[in-house]
Amino acid sequence: MNRLFKYALFLLFPLLAFQQPAANAQGKQAKVLCVAFYNLENLFDTIDDPRTNDDEFTPKGASQWNSKRYYTKLSHLAEVISQIGDEYTKNGPVFIGVSEVENRAVVEDLAHTPPLKSMGYDIVHFDSPDRRGIDVALLYQPKLFQVKSTKTHTLRLPNDTSFRTRDILQVDGLLDGELVHVLVNHWPSRSGGEIESAPKRDAAADLCLAAVKAIYKDEPDARIIVMGDLNDDPVDESLMKHLKIKTKPENVSQGDLFDPMWQLFRDGIGSLAYRDSWNLFDQIIVSSALMDKKSEGYRYLKARVFNKKFLVEKEGPYEGYPFRTYSGGIYTGGYSDHFPVYLFLVKEIR
């Protein structure tokens, strides 16, 4: 058993044992909600779209992508999403950001796949200018999250007018009656080298921070959740120096962003593996208002990586890695090359 597999089996820390709603040790009632993010790894349909770079994911493409494989992947992804947060709530995430989706149709197909259909997910999606033709989206349960407004933020590089990547999706809505702002990200990849590509992710972090500051301008105590595949770890400059995250709860002041994934990464936990080491590119970050223990509304409780055993490669050269759809160019019928990440929000019922 290699060390990656050992990390993958180091599952989630015990939390307070209550459901939604339930009583804690002092007899007080609490409600718990789960929010999540999941890189779905190339969720393409089988139709050749001339507007996107999807040739590989067609029946005649290199991956021989067909309807059977497509619907198998949808079923697998739905299986995962329906279980996220099940140690607190059996209702699935109240909303989940996703990345690497080709279009709105594939997200609709996912939402209509059992068991997600019974959870009643609706969708926010916009086409991005990304050259691969992949976007981000948000699935949400309207019974608990009512969308009020949506917009996108497009990343442009002044020294590279041909650059195209995923937009940042902003969704503002009422989470069980409380105004929450969600920013779904998929920052530029490390293609061409980690160091060489770093300025692009720094620029994405700057754009994300500008969106956060714009929200704060109108709402100084805003509840903000930043989530996404950032293609950087919590310790990297894009997070530490550009997004300006705080890594310890005691250091969070009004207007700050707290990244709970920093401690998970320091503990050796990751959401994807490369060359026998873990990265934690998938992150969920919260604003200071969600860290206020005196708040009468929802506040941050705990963050985790969803890495149950069925999502882990059991053997071969990638033992312990996330069980992905293709491995070494060979179809393996797995899930994704990323584990989902999620966190819990808790509110005392008075």
Give all domains of the chain, ordered by start, each with its CATH number: 3-8+39-343 (3.60.10.10)
Coil/strand/helix, residue 223: strand
What is the residue type of 314?
K
Rounded distance, CA 119 to CA 74, Å? 15
Determine how β-strand 245-246 pairs with β-strand 257-258.
parallel
Instruction: Count CB-CB contacts under 10 A for residue 260.
Output: 22
3-state helix, strand, coil in the chain (%, to 5): 25, 30, 45
Contact yes or no for 206/171 (Cβ under 8 A)? no
- Give whole-number Cα distances, 250 to 90, 225, 295, in Å: 31, 19, 16
Looking at residue 3, its pLDDT comes to 43
CB atoms within 10 A of CB 350: 6
- Report, in angstroms and rounded to the nearest whole number, the Rg of the chain calculated over CA atoms: 19
Backbone angles phi, psi at 238, to 5 degrees: -60, -35
HSE, side-chain direction, 13 A CA sphere, residue 350: 4
* pLDDT at residue 52, rounded to an integer: 85
Which pTM value belongs to this model?
0.92
The residue length of the chain stands at 350
pLDDT for the residue 16: 37
**pLDDT the model gives residue 184:** 99
φ/ψ (deg, to 5) at 324: -100, 175
pLDDT at residue 24, as a whole number: 52
Point out the residues of the chain with pLDDT beneath 70.
Answer: 1-27
